Structure 1
Amino acid sequence: MSSHGSESENNNRDVDLGGDCRPGSPATARLTVVVEDTRFSEEKTLLVQSCDYFGALYRSGMRECRQEEIHLQCLHARGFFITLAVMRGEALGLDADDIVEAIQCAAFLQASPLTRHLVDLVDSDNCLLMFHTAATFGLLELYHAAALYIRNMYADIEVEVRQTLPSELISFVESLTPSAFVAVGAHVTCGTSENIHAASRTVCYLDETGNTWKTLTDLPLEASTSMAGVTVLDNKLYVVGGVRGLHKDVVDTCFCYDVEKNIWTELAGPGQPRFNLGLIGQNGHLYAIGGEYERIVMSSVEILDVQTGRWRFAAHLPRPAAGAACTKVTRRIFVCLWRPMETTEIHEYVPSTDEWRLVTSLIRRQSYGHCMVGHRDDLYVMRNGPSDDFLRCVMDCYNLSTGQWTSLPGHFANSKGSLFTAVVRCDSVFTLNRSATLEYVVHGKTWKPRRQMKGFPRSGSVWTFLLRLPMVQIHSTND
């Protein structure tokens, strides 16, 4: 484990990970859990809320639920320490031994916070271990997440996969389809009389084997991607806001494309109509961030619960922003603001407290920023330059663990691959413009060109994202 030390390595000692011990504070019901030779003291409420095992125990009426101390026989103390730390909100990095013990605890205790944390930690270094261990202990959410990760980079690790995994696990990975690189250009709806097959209305995916762009679906007649918010959540495509018609009226509804069912549905729009907004999908919610309305740049933020279809307002941005670069890393939401002059500020939205927290600031000569993407615990911020050179992009990297900025060497020419939009898939980054689709490999803090493919045949702004396409959908577009 990379930080915070482990009390579980010390035998026969009490481990108290919480509680208000100030004089006069109200008493909190606590439970002592003994794992191997280590005793952990924790609030019962946290255990019950975070672990189905303890929730079932205290609903059962069994004798153990009235005890102040229980023993867990089949777990390791180090794994249980990791479980408690994650349940209390610590973002731990885990080594190979930690991963195995954490997966065992997550499966036995049915600890959802720990499972989600493990899913967030899947990367090219540990995906095979995560997949095999999750299969062994029956942790299905992690099992599927790790399998999809392996499938997305299968060409790079196929030899290792065949040397490491049993045949039934290999078969499961090979039965999956990798996430496809998908793009949609700016399209302004002019009315129901427009050509339903207009090329600008199509959402396309890159057939990497055939090096060609193919049509996935057409936008609904009422939808517009011009200055809209576009994102993917739970393998569904969402289009929110934007403008349409000759007078650029604001679209007050949003649209969802279910790739599995190959259907579009219409949803209620934000309470505040907006265009040129940022849009992020996370944990069953859409976050509509800033934007414009009637020539006013806004700081308001709204959240859509996609299950209920209801929008609600959240904490405002620190300042008004239109077209702000935003991304997510391990379920954390970040937005990059480019004011005041020559200042790059990265803010994080904290859902538990409904607030925006300043993460870091960088003073750097620039005109404006293009986009921001995350890879592992790094945020990559792209901007034009130097000296307002719009044909080249430069990048800075901010590491969330160390709090350090790094400037990437060299420049990235827009004539070959635009960094106005970028998508991360495993250790690869896909960028594109009309001339070319470029794939980079992230190695350390460097983006190394890997291959060049066909450019996207559309002019104007482009939104890019990843979707897992069903086999039947791929076959139908190939016919």
Structure 2
Amino acid sequence: MSTERNTYGLISLDSRLYAMAGNNIHGSLNSVETYDTQTNTWKSVASMIIIREQFDATVMNNSIYACGGLNVNVFKFCEYYSTINDQWYEMVSMNTERRGLALVAHEGLLYAIGGYNDRDYYLNSVERYDTYSNKWTQIKPMLIPRYMFGSASFMGNIYVCGGEGINTTIYESCETYDPKTNQWTTIASMLTGRRYFKLIVFNDILYALGGLISETNITETVEVYDYNSNKWYYTQSLPDKLWGYGPVRSLEDFSDDRCDHCAAVVTKWWPIMIQILAHDGRDCQ
């Protein structure tokens, strides 16, 4: 990338990566750049409406949505990006200020989950955005408050794992939300407690990658969730210790069965996933 970034948004859409906002030694950012996997180049696109870090972003209906975050104060503000117009648009704000939240697109709806603010501290509240009603609605809260945790849409439900909670406890625990019943249910805990990490869905498999496992220790470990047995197990570790990287939800946009296409991505994601796939006995052919 042309700009150094931490606690930023990293989204895959239409075989491109979008790196958004975040912070560096110069302060918080609102700039956005996109990586073209075909030309192996980065270029700048329209900046976000506001400067932000510790936000979350996701893709829905071929647009990029971003909510919450921090720039001096924690805020509710949400916006979305049109790749056709190369423009960000303001949308209805969330009901609650959140940073370190999870923003998950699931079955045509947006879910803003957990996080932290200076009034309520660690949050377990959840709200859902419907594009048709143009409203955020409070739904069933998580079983425990979480901040800087992993999240994913997986097997018809929303999964959340790890993160930080009361007394800065780092969690191994996981839970899943069923939209049909509006209920959260505990599932098997990860083997390692972690925050500032990501849950990634790849080839219908859920991975937990990297993160902070204490105040000073970063991990390169990777865990895989076995849906049928409700168990986590370790797979091949990342080549580097990583934490605080952008929220890529899925790498399916890049899985077009061409290994040369996989290798073209200059970020760490494809080398990481290729190594994991090879370790798990799967081929990129």
After TM superposition, is the score higher than 0.5?
A: yes
Q: What is the alpha-carbon distance in structure 1 between the residues aligned to residue 150 and residue 87 of structure 2?
A: 29
Aligned residue in 2 for 1:380: 207
Distance (whole Å) between structure 1 residues aligned to residue 170 and residue 23 of structure 2: 32
- Write the distance in 2 (CA, Å) between the matches of 1:418 and 1:350: 29
> Residues 99-248 of structure 1: matches in 2 within 5 Å?
178-186=14-22, 200-220=29-49, 223-244=50-71, 248=72
Equivalent residue letter for 1:205: T
The answer to whether residue 247 in structure 2 is matched with residue 398 in structure 1 is: no
Equivalent in the alignment of 1:261: 85
User: Which residue is equivalent to 1:322?
Assistant: 147
How far did residue 335 of structure 1 move?
Answer: 0.6
Alignment of 1:446-461 (within 5 A): 446=280
Greater per-residue strand proportion: 2
Q: Note the alpha carbon deviations across 1:166-206, whole angstroms, 9 max, x for none.
A: xxxxxxxxxxx942122113159xxxxxxxxx994322111
Q: Which has the higher contact order (CA 8 A, sep 6+)?
A: 2
Structure 1 residue 301 corresponds to structure 2 residue 126: yes
CA separation in 2, counterparts of 1:391 and 1:409? 16
Using the alignment, how far apart are the partners of 1:395 and 1:447 within structure 2?
16
Matches within 5 A, 1:407-422: 407-414=234-241, 420-421=245-246, 422=248
Name the count of aligned residue pairs. Answer: 256
Give the match for residue 128 of structure 1.
Answer: none
C-alpha displacement of 1:410: 4.1
CA deviations over 1:353-412 (Å, ceiling 9, x no partner): 111111212344x56451111123321112348888746410110121333322113443
Give the drift of 1:338. 4.5
Q: Partners of 2:171 and 2:29 in 1: how far apart?
A: 36
Q: Determine which of 157, 174, 178 is the counterpart of 1:350.
A: 178
1:375–1:342 CA distance, 2 compared to 1 (3 A)? same
Change (3 A) 1:383 1:209: closer
Q: Deviations over 1:308-358 (max 9, x none)?
A: 210110111111111221111244211113478675222111111111111
1:336 counterpart letter in structure 2: C
Q: What is the distance in 2 between the residues matched to 1:291 and 1:419? A: 15
In 2, Cα distance between the equivalents of 1:410 and 1:286?
A: 31
In structure 2, what is the Cα distance between the partners aligned to 1:387 and 1:269? 33
Measured against aligned partners, the alpha-carbon deviations of 1:116-152 in whole angstroms (never above 9, x if no partner) come to xxxxxxxxxxxxxxxxxxxxxxxxxxxxxxxxxxxx9
Superimposed CA distance per residue, residues 205-246 of structure 1 (whole angstroms, 9 cap, x where no aligned partner): 1122332211232112xx2331222111111111112223xx
Rounded to whole Å, the distance in 1 between the matches of 2:245 and 2:53 is 15
| CA distance in 1 between partners of 2:148 and 2:28 (Å) | 25
Which structure has the greater CA radius of gyration? 1
Output the CA distance in 1 between the equivalents of 2:112 and 2:53.
Answer: 16
Which blocks of at least 5 consecutive residues in structure 1 are unaligned?
1-151, 153-176, 189-197, 451-479
Aligned counterparts of 1:292 and 1:403: Cα–Cα separation in 2: 29
Aligned AA (1:376): N
Structure 2: 5+ residue stretches without partners: 1-11
Alpha-carbon separation, structure 2, partners of 1:385 and 1:311: 31
Give the secondary-structure state (helix, strand or coil) at the position aligned to 1:443: helix
CA distance in 2: counterparts of 1:343 and 1:187, whole angstroms: 25
What TM-score, normalized to structure 2?
0.75
Secondary structure of residue in 2 paired with 1:252: coil
User: What amino acid is the match of 1:357?
Assistant: T
Counterpart amino acid of 1:184?
Answer: M
- By percentage of residues, which structure has more helix? 1
Shift in alpha-carbon separation, 1:330–1:204, aligned structure 2, 3 A: farther
Contact 1:335 1:348 in 2 (8 A): yes
Shift in alpha-carbon separation, 1:363–1:240, aligned structure 2, 3 A: same
Q: Which amino acid aligns with 2:45?
A: L
Pair 1:273 & 2:97 matched: yes
Aligned position for 1:108: none
Which residue of structure 2 aligns with residue 443 of structure 1? Answer: 277
Distance 2:136 2:147 in 1: 20
What letter corresponds to residue 188 of structure 2 in structure 1?
Answer: T
Q: Percent identity?
A: 20
**Match for 1:379: what amino acid?**
L
**AA at the equivalent of 1:308:** S
One-letter code of the match for 2:77? Answer: T
Residue number among 311, 329, 344 corresponding to 2:136 in the alignment: 311
Provide closer, same or farther for how the CA distance between residues 400 and 218 of structure 1 changes in structure 2, counting only shifts above 3 A. same
